[in-house]
Amino acid sequence: MLNYCIKRIYSAVIVVIVVSIITFLMLSMVSGNAAILALGTDATPEQLAALEHEMGLDLPWYLQYFNWVKGLVRLDFGSSMLYGTDVLTLIIQRLPVTLSLALFSMLMSLTVSFILGTISAVRKGGIVDIICRSIMQLGTTIPGFWLSIIFIIYIALRSPVFPISGFVSPSESFEGYLASIFLPSLVLAIAETGSMLRAVRTSMLQSLNQDYIIMAKVQGLPRWKIYIKYGLRGALAAPLNVAGLKFARLLGGTTIVESVFSLPGLGRLVLVAVEQRDIFLLQGTAMFITASVVLISLAVDIITALMNPRMRLEGEQS
Amino acid sequence: MDSANLVSIRNLTVLSGQRVLIKNLDLDIREGELIGVAGESGSGKTMFILAMLNVLPEGVKITSDRFELFGKDCRTLSSSEWRSLVGSHIGFVPQNTMFYLHPMMKIKKQIIDSFVSHKKGTKEQGLARAAELLRRVGFDDPERVLNSYGWELSGGMRQRVNIAMALMNNPEILIADEPTTALDAAIQRQILDLFKDINENEGVTILMVSHDLGMLHAYSNMNMVMYAGRMVEFGPSEDIFNAPAHPYTKALLDVIPTLSRTADDRLVEIPGFVPDSGREVESCIFADRCPYAEDICRQPVSMTHIAAHHLCLCAKPLTGGDRNE
């Protein structure tokens, strides 16, 4: 197990390093340099050269990269040219919104997927199974922005509970917070539930085909024990892994929903950075998001390994 | 009938869609018997067991005129009532030992589950009984086994755990599907001796499927020979092995290699294969492979009594030892 963790951490570090190089090179090479962007096109070559020197832009690229990484390690992501504040501060301000969206939508999606997925596997070909298969189709094909608009028009505009846009911080009002986060989370959850449901159903069907299920049936165990204790227990790993990766992906993938519901989250921060060519902000957020994704998938891998006694005990046996 | 029938089946037919897997099987199992079920692969032995345990694969259906377990008519029971009856009265020892123990559960959790679910006692009593049974099947350190996962044990150990698990609820019948396949000879012997001991000293009825006739000869007292989904012969071991009435039984016995065989002797085989389809015919299904087949064998055939407890499904049974030197 320890070996596995070390190997897994090792490869995660390599991924982060490679991603950081790509992020840095792409952004610093492509769109003209930051000094031009900061000063505008009217600046004199002398001013430009002075600022370039000040920002370290006249150094060879590997030294620039090295300086940038040195900053990252000290959690110094540079400062945004647009907002004039520290990139990390901006990220930390936006993080709760995106994190809430990701968490709530995953919670909704997981609950629905596990309940419906289990029933549809146990009663294969039954009504629930047919409904589930339609959800799998629909969930993945309905575009999020369209659904968001529909929700705003038909639910938020007509109901006093849900706000049309904006985010209420939980310290202000917890109910307000839940109401402000509910509809956007639902949109994301619907998009995720299709594949989540498929993962649970497939994994559960596989588990129900195992010999231990025959044994449980022969022993005359009650239904819930056969399906939950034996069936679901053997079917957890794959869907939880999928859920973890989905969660990680949501951290960088809520831009559309955040935009439609006007939520000040990470996705919109990235969008602004791209639109305004705020290179440091873009580098910082991109780095932050990839690092989080890598970290979360690392955590998911280790957790699923821990859940599997066979992996957990490996190497501890005499 | 000198003792009660634990199992009484009449005219059992197992169908997978339109395909006949088992046809018109009649069987009574009396208390205390150790019944061997013999036959080539594909003869329907396992399917028959799965039908009794009510765990047939999806799409496989059964029909019967009578299907009684422990005096209860299973045809009137719901699927879960049937399984509950099976769970509290029958112990099942599977063939392949690998995946019957849940890979994510410690053995102690799984072994007492049925015991507790059928309200035979508390968890603690279950664990105590499990430890006692594990000792009985030959483990010196039941505690260590209880705290292991199935995949941490060897095949022989797993099979012994399966047997202990099958015995947890004090079953009246133990059903074992090729319990010693893939185990080495010493462990085979140990397990079979255990079965014999349980049968003789505790009066547990045992139904043991095997294609190893030599083994069945040594251990069973009744035998049932199956061929292509039919029971072709049923009777006491001494009759079946010394004076088989059905040509198929005789053929099966003939293919057992003997130690007196010299290197030049060819191994005997039964020509042809077990037919997979066309099992619905009323005439003898072995006729195509039977060396004694005559015209009468193409007529519908029915079960005949050779002796009191000796049945044979053959138009011209090889009665007694006269044709069998």
Residue B255, pLDDT > 50, answer yes
The pLDDT-based confidence of B322 (bands split at 50, 70, 90) is very low
Name the residue among A211, A214, A220 with its Cβ closest to that of B88.
Answer: A220
B182-204: average pLDDT: 86
Name the residue among A212, A223, A309 with its Cβ closest to that of B100.
Answer: A212
Residues from chain A contacting residue B130 (CB–CB below 8 Å) = none
Residues from chain A contacting residue B84 (CB–CB below 8 Å) = 220
Contact B55 A233 (CB under 8 A): no
Contact A233 B92 (CB under 8 A): no
Model pLDDT, residue B208: 92
Could you tell me the two tokens for A67? Answer: 């300086």
**Best to test chain A binding among B53, B54, B56, B83 (most A CBs inside 10 Å):** B83
Question: Burial, A215: exposed, middle or buried (Cβ in 10 Å; 0-12, 13-18, 19+)?
Answer: buried
Contact A310 B151 (CB under 8 A): yes
A297 or B182: which carries more pLDDT confidence?
A: A297
B80 at A interface, C-beta within 8 A = yes
Q: Which residues contact B98 (CB under 8 A, 6 or more apart)?
A: A211, B150, B155, B158
Q: Give just the sign of the alpha carbon dihedral B68, B69, B70, B75.
A: negative
For A42-76, the three-class secondary structure string (H helix, E strand, C coil) is CCCHHHHHHHHHHHCCCCCHHHHHHHHHHHHHCCC
Chains A, B: CB contacts within 8 A come to: 77
Closest CA to A125 of A200, A205, A71: A205
- The per-residue pLDDT string of chain A (318 residues; one tens digit each, 9 = 90 and over) reads 788 889 889 999 999 999 889 888 887 776 566 677 677 777 788 887 887 777 777 778 888 888 888 888 888 888 888 888 889 999 999 999 999 999 999 999 999 999 999 999 999 888 999 998 888 888 888 888 899 999 999 999 988 888 888 888 888 888 999 999 999 999 999 988 988 999 999 999 999 998 999 999 999 899 899 999 999 988 988 899 999 989 988 988 888 899 999 999 999 999 998 888 888 888 888 888 888 989 998 998 888 888 888 877 765 543
Contact A220 B53 (CB under 8 A): no
DSSP H or E stretch at residue B132: helix B123-136
Q: What percent of chain B has pLDDT over 90?
A: 24
Residue A20 CA to residue A40 CA, distance in Å, equals 27
Model pLDDT, residue B2: 44
Contact B83 A217 (CB under 8 A): yes
Q: What is the CATH number of domain A91-264?
A: 1.10.3720.10
Contact A234 B86 (CB under 8 A): no
Nearest-CA distance A215 → chain B (Å): 6
In B, minimum Cα distance to A231 occurs at B102
Nearest-CA distance A246 → chain B (Å): 25
Name the residue among B87, B102, B103 with its Cβ closest to that of A218.
Answer: B87
Q: Give just the sign of the alpha carbon dihedral B78, B83, B89, B94.
A: positive
Model pLDDT, residue B282: 82
Identify whether the C-beta of residue B68 lies closer than 8 Å to the C-beta of residue B8. yes
In B, minimum Cα distance to A312 occurs at B104
Model pLDDT, residue B211: 79
Model pLDDT, residue B133: 92
For A240-262, the three-class secondary structure string (H helix, E strand, C coil) is HHHHHHHHHHHHHCCHHHHHHCC
Q: What percent of chain B has pLDDT over 70?
A: 94
Name the residue among A217, A218, A230 with its Cβ closest to that of B102.
Answer: A230
Q: Which residues contact A154 (CB under 8 A, 6 or more apart)?
A: none
User: Which residues 130-149 of chain B have a CB within 8 Å of chain A?
Assistant: 149
Contact A220 B118 (CB under 8 A): yes
Beta bridge partners of B8: B28, B68
Model pLDDT, residue B319: 66
Q: Give just the sign of the alpha carbon dihedral A214, A215, A217, A221.
A: negative
Contact B100 A220 (CB under 8 A): no
Other CB atoms within 10 A of residue B257 CB: 10
Contact B117 A222 (CB under 8 A): yes
Give residue ranges of A with CB < 8 Å to any B CB. 210-212, 214-223, 225, 229-230, 233-234, 307-310, 313, 317
Closest CA to A251 of A202, A306, A299: A299
DSSP helix/strand/coil, B141:
coil
Nearest-CA distance B49 → chain A (Å): 11
The pLDDT-based confidence of B321 (bands split at 50, 70, 90) is very low
The single-letter DSSP state of residue B112 is T
Contact B54 A217 (CB under 8 A): yes
Other CB atoms within 10 A of residue B215 CB: 17
B62-81: average pLDDT: 89
Contact A221 B98 (CB under 8 A): no
- Which domains, from first to last, does chain B contain? 32-54+79-220 (3.40.50.300), 227-325 (no CATH)
* Structure confidence by residue, pLDDT tens digits, B89-106: 999 998 866 788 998 899
Please state which of the ranges A126-135, A272-281, B134-143, B161-170 shows the lowest mean pLDDT: A272-281
Contact B87 A220 (CB under 8 A): yes
Contact B87 A309 (CB under 8 A): no
Contact A308 B104 (CB under 8 A): yes
The single-letter DSSP state of residue B268 is P
Contact A212 B102 (CB under 8 A): yes
Q: What is the DSSP string of B182-242?
A: TS-HHHHHHHHHHHHHHHHHH--EEEEE-S-HHHHHHH-SEEEEEETTEEEEEEEHHHHHH
* Structure confidence by residue, pLDDT tens digits, B24-71: 888 888 888 999 998 888 888 889 999 999 998 888 989 999 898 998
In B, minimum Cα distance to A123 occurs at B58
Model pLDDT, residue B141: 92
Contact A310 B103 (CB under 8 A): yes
Residue B17 CA to residue B9 CA, distance in Å, equals 22
* Structure confidence by residue, pLDDT tens digits, B276-294: 777 888 888 888 888 888 8
Model pLDDT, residue A318: 37
Residues from chain A contacting residue B54 (CB–CB below 8 Å) = 217
pTM metric for this prediction: 0.82
